[in-house]
């Protein structure tokens, strides 16, 4: 994930216990395997791999995977952490629901690989046997810009209308996650009033973290589906996932894993 807050690591490896995560992270920090950053005195630590940690983890792979070693905190750190919040909520929820997160690429990986005017915050694939679907993710952390959202509406509508797809994916379904429920509703209504053909579903980060088994994804017209139902909902035309998943698993990586490790 490039950057991980204490809460992320607690969820991933310590059943949500921040105390247990902090205890282990102190040992890793003392051993020189991770770096710790303190962006705010009233906030939690942010961790990245240190060069020594990368050397310990390094395993040659067919896709050229390389662990990222940030030299400092990213200027878009809050946004990147929000993407990671969504990623974990989806990964853990999908696993509990009997599905599988096949691969994931965040925007910082996509920008190094594709020369696109529009790069999603993430592209990922989900499998609920026997069906697989690819999703493009947009995360609104605190932008609160209806103008910026409408610009995305125009861009995604144009992408869906053209041949060639987005970031190497020929077909996908769009998810839009926001922290602020009031602004998220504004975006949904703006999408409805624009009468766009962009296939997008909206959900709050809070609803994701409570569980993805419910119908929390709301379309511009107000209809609601669960993520599992979105996976089984057919594309406008079929034939995507086997090809796109194979392509993502074999292309060289720019610093992150195709499969959650």
Domain ranges of the chain: 1-73, 75-261
* pLDDT tens column, 78-100: 999 999 999 999 999 999 999 99
> Check: CATH 3.40.50.970 for 1-73?
no
CA distance 34 to 39: 16
Which range has the worst mean pLDDT, 18-32, 102-116, 169-183, 236-250? 236-250
Q: What percent of the chain has pLDDT over 90?
A: 54
**pLDDT reported for residue 222:** 93
Averaged pLDDT, 253-261: 33
Architecture, CATH, for domain 75-261 = 3-Layer(aba) Sandwich (3.40)
Contact 72, 223 (CB under 8 A): no
* Rg of the chain taking only CA atoms, in angstroms: 18
Within this chain, domains 1-73 and 75-261 share the same CATH topology: no
For residues 224 and 215, the answer to whether their CB atoms sit within 8 Å is yes
3-state DSSP assignment of residue 250: helix
DSSP β-bridge partners for residue 176: 138, 202
Q: What are the tens digits of pLDDT across the range 173-202?
A: 899 999 999 999 999 999 999 877 888 999
For the chain, what is the mean pLDDT? 84
Q: Torsions phi, psi of 42, nearest 5?
A: -95, 10
Find where tokens 């997008």 sit: 200
The pLDDT tens digits of the residues spanning 196-242 come to: 788 899 999 999 999 888 999 999 999 999 999 999 988 754 333 33
CA distance 125 to 146: 28
pTM of the full structure: 0.83
Rounded Cα distance between 129 and 205, Å, is: 26
User: Average pLDDT of 152-164?
Assistant: 80
Q: Cβ-count burial of 57 within 10 angstroms (0-12 exposed, 13-18 middle, 19+ buried)? A: exposed
10 Å Cβ neighbour count for 60? Answer: 6
Mean pLDDT of 16-45: 93
Q: In the structure, what pLDDT confidence band is assigned to residue 249 with cuts at 50, 70 and 90?
A: very low
């Amino acid at each position: 994930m490039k950057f991980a807050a204490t809460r992320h690591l607690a969820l991933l490896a310590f059943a949500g216990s921040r105390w247990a995560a902090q205890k282990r992270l102190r040992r890793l920090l003392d051993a020189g395997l991770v770096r710790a950053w303190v962006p705010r005195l009233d906030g939690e630590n942010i961790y990245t791999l240190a060069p020594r940690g990368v050397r310990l983890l390094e395993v040659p792979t067919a896709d050229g995977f390389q662990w990222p070693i940030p030299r400092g905190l990213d200027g878009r750190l809050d946004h990147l952490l929000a993407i990671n919040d969504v990623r974990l909520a989806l990964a853990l929820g999908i696993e509990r629901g009997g599905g599988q997160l096949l691969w994931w690429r965040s925007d910082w990986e996509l920008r190094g690989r594709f020369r696109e005017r529009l790069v999603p915050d993430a592209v990922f694939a989900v499998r609920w046997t026997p069906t697989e679907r690819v999703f493009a993710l947009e995360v609104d952390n605190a932008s609160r810009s209806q103008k910026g959202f409408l610009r995305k509406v125009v861009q995604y509508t144009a992408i869906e209308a053209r041949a060639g797809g987005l970031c190497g994916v020929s077909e996908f379904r769009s998810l839009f996650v926001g922290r602020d429920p009031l602004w998220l509703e504004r975006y949904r209504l703006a999408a409805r009033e624009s009468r766009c053909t962009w296939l997008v579903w909206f959900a709050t980060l809070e609803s994701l973290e409570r569980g993805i088994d419910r119908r929390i994804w709301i379309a511009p017209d107000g209809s609601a589906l669960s993520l599992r139902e979105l996976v089984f909902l057919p594309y406008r035309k079929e034939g995507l996932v086997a090809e796109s998943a194979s392509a993502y698993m074999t292309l060289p990586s720019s610093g992150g894993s195709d499969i959650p490790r």
